[in-house]
Amino acid sequence: MQKILNYINGELVEPNSKKWIDNIDPATGDVYSLIPDSDSSDIDSAARAAKDAFPAWANTSNEERYRVLNKLVELIKENADELALAESIDNGKPLKLAQKVDIPRAWQNFEFFATGIMHFASESHNMQAANTINYTLRQPIGVVGCISPWNLPLYLFTWKIAPAIAAGNCVVAKPSEVTPMTAYLLSELAIKAGLPKGVLNIVHGLGHKVGDSITRNPEIKAISFTGGTKTGEAIASIAAPMFKKLSLELGGKNPNLVFADCDYKKALSTSVMSSFANQGQICLCGSRIYIEESIYEKFKEDFVAKVNKLKVGNPLDSDSNLGAVVSKDHQEKVLSYIDLAVEEGGTILTGGKKLELDGECKNGYFIAPTVIEGLDNNCRIQQEEIFGPVVTLTPFKNEEHALELANSSQYGLSSTIWTQDLNRANRIANKIDAGIVWVNCWLHRDLRTPFGGVKNSGVGREGGFEVFKFFTEPKNVCIQWS
Ligand code: TXE
């Protein structure tokens, strides 16, 4: 049975506890590898290694950091097939999705931030009359913590560690214990790339033990976290009194507004994707679909017809549109929400149940893509993040009504607007509670743009120079000359 190892101080090592956690393939329900059951002592070793490595790494030139990180780009590309297969088996997502999205985005993250650090500069402010010049230094923080979730494992793991390292920090990172495999494979590539020991440390294990230890460790001065809002709250409650910098990318319950004047064909097909990609396990999925009442019945009929054509199957089969959800616990959580939807008065238009496949996937965790209508906008199904293949359809009367429905949420991560009226698109984009607004598209990502949400979707922004500002400390130096 393969044992995943921690990566501490440049070495692949077992957890101090010598204890292991079963790693399950969600498409088969089988245990297929073992995960280190690490604890605070492993985090202490990782934080010490990072602290020891920091002075030298902080003093490397941006060009040197570019070169080392770019080697990782090449190694991820060379090993893309192995990484995609590992991601699909670990997460349950279709292999073709891992090949097309997850792994390319992993090397793009390294490429983007390796080149970005060559252009990241800081400002100066000239006090002409006083013969004084101010310049701003942007210095790396030191040892930083990166904690990532299970939905886009390597994609979101590298989205954090690449800018942190490029900016000159040393990292103690924790991938989700639900999907640790590709982070482990990345540590092997980091060794091959010649990343100096201690610059990146990856410690596997349970969130309330290893993640919590990262948050509490006094050597770790900033935490970049992506995951559930509740967990974000727990991290903030510990880190805030320690005055650690915090970047929290949390849950979402994103509205998808479909106006009658939309490009109907594109709105329909993209809405199927934004509803069920990655089994609906993307924080950017548009799980609340609001449709202008004049086209509601037609859209509902066409949407359900398209959803019924989606194939839920073995993630390794090229014709599977949806694979397994990530774990048995998560399958039960999503199914419980579907039961609740019926209790709250919803009508299930399609799906609404777990699927039992035959063959090797007979014990896998599959759920039929589910579409529900007839729910009050304030009910739990419309308010809580389900994070599975479940969407709701709700009609709206007009623009004001659409905005009111969209904004009646504790979340504010992303939103999608389908209309050909650019005045309306800009009016709504201006007023909607969201950090990201897509108009006539979904999930188009320019890595230079600020990424993150408002309200309970988190604090801070990732992406572009925003994340370099997070992973550096600005220092103003003011010099007067005679
Ligand atoms: O997140 P968790 P999970 C949402 C979605 C999902 C929910 C839970 O609603 O159902 O979060 O998903 C570590 N201190 N999103 O289980 O539990 C944990 O080990 C420190 C939205 O992935 O928050 C893992 O590495 N760390 C999100 C990471 O935190 C802790 C994407 C995330 O785990 C910890 C994924 C603790 N006390 C889920 N407890 C998005 N916005 O993209 C756990 N962890």
Give 190-233 pLDDT, tens digit per residue. 999 999 999 999 999 999 999 999 999 999 999 999 999 999 99
**CATH superfamily, with its number, for domain 2-250+457-480:** Aldehyde Dehydrogenase; Chain A, domain 1 (3.40.605.10)
Q: Cβ of 353: how many Cβ atoms within 10 Å? A: 12
Cα separation of 46 and 206, whole Å? 16
- Reported as a single tens digit per residue, the pLDDT across 344-396 is 999 999 999 999 999 999 999 999 999 999 999 999 999 999 999 999 999 99
pLDDT, position 434? 98
Confidence of residue 430 (pLDDT cuts 50, 70, 90): very high
pLDDT, position 23? 98
Cα separation of 353 and 339, whole Å? 9
Please give the single-letter amino acid code of residue 35.
I
What's the mean pLDDT in 31-46? 98
**CATH superfamily, with its number, for domain 254-446:** Aldehyde Dehydrogenase; Chain A, domain 2 (3.40.309.10)
Tokens of 287: 């799980």
For the chain, which residues make up each domain, given as ranges?
2-250+457-480, 254-446
Residues 213, 47 contacting (CB under 8 angstroms): no
pLDDT, position 298? 98
| Rounded percentage of the chain residues whose pLDDT exceeds 90 | 100
What's the mean pLDDT in 265-276? 98
pLDDT, position 143? 99
Cα separation of 380 and 286, whole Å? 16
Ligand 1 centroid distance, CA of 341 (Å)? 24
Say whether pTM exceeds 0.85: yes
Ligand 1 centroid distance, CA of 420 (Å)? 37
pLDDT, position 71? 98
pLDDT, position 474? 98
Catalytic residue, candidates 87, 177, 249, 466: 249
Annotated catalytic residue 283 = yes
Among residues 271, 251, 287, 320, the alpha carbon closest in space to that of 92 is found at 320
Ligand 1 nearest atom to the CA of residue 174, by list position: 25
pLDDT, position 15? 98
Longest dimension (CA), the chain: 83
The β-bridge relationship of strands 347-350 and 370-373 is antiparallel
Ligand 1 centroid distance, CA of 152 (Å)? 12
Please give the single-letter amino acid code of residue 299.
F
Cα separation of 382 and 375, whole Å? 8
Confidence of residue 176 (pLDDT cuts 50, 70, 90): very high
Tokens of 34: 């073992």
Specify the DSSP element, H or E, that contains 126: strand 124-127
Cα separation of 396 and 258, whole Å? 9
What's the mean pLDDT in 448-471? 98
Ligand 1 centroid distance, CA of 368 (Å)? 23
Ligand 1 nearest atom to the CA of residue 385, by list position: 9
pLDDT, position 208? 98
Q: Cβ of 352: how many Cβ atoms within 10 Å? A: 20
Among residues 147, 150, 456, the alpha carbon closest in space to that of 333 is found at 150
Tokens of 62: 């941006």
Catalytic residue, candidates 283, 285, 373, 385: 283
What's the mean pLDDT in 38-60? 99
pLDDT, position 147? 99
pLDDT, position 282? 98
What's the mean pLDDT in 267-284? 98
Mean pLDDT of the chain: 98
- Reported as a single tens digit per residue, the pLDDT across 353-362 is 999 999 999 9
- Distance from first CA to last CA of the chain, Å, rounded? 72
Choose one of 176, 220, 332, 445 to mutate for the ligand 1 pocket test, by most ligand atoms within 8 angstroms of C-beta.
176
Confidence of residue 239 (pLDDT cuts 50, 70, 90): very high
Residues enclosing ligand 1, CB less than 6 A? 147-151, 174, 176-177, 207-208, 211-212, 215, 226-228, 231, 234-235, 249-251, 283, 385, 387
Confidence of residue 91 (pLDDT cuts 50, 70, 90): very high
| 53-75 burial code (b ≥16 CB/10 A, e <16) | bbeebbeeebeebbebbbbbbeb
Q: Cβ of 371: how many Cβ atoms within 10 Å? A: 26
- Reported as a single tens digit per residue, the pLDDT across 310-321 is 999 999 999 999
Q: Is the dihedral of CA 70, 72, 73, 78 positive or negative?
A: positive
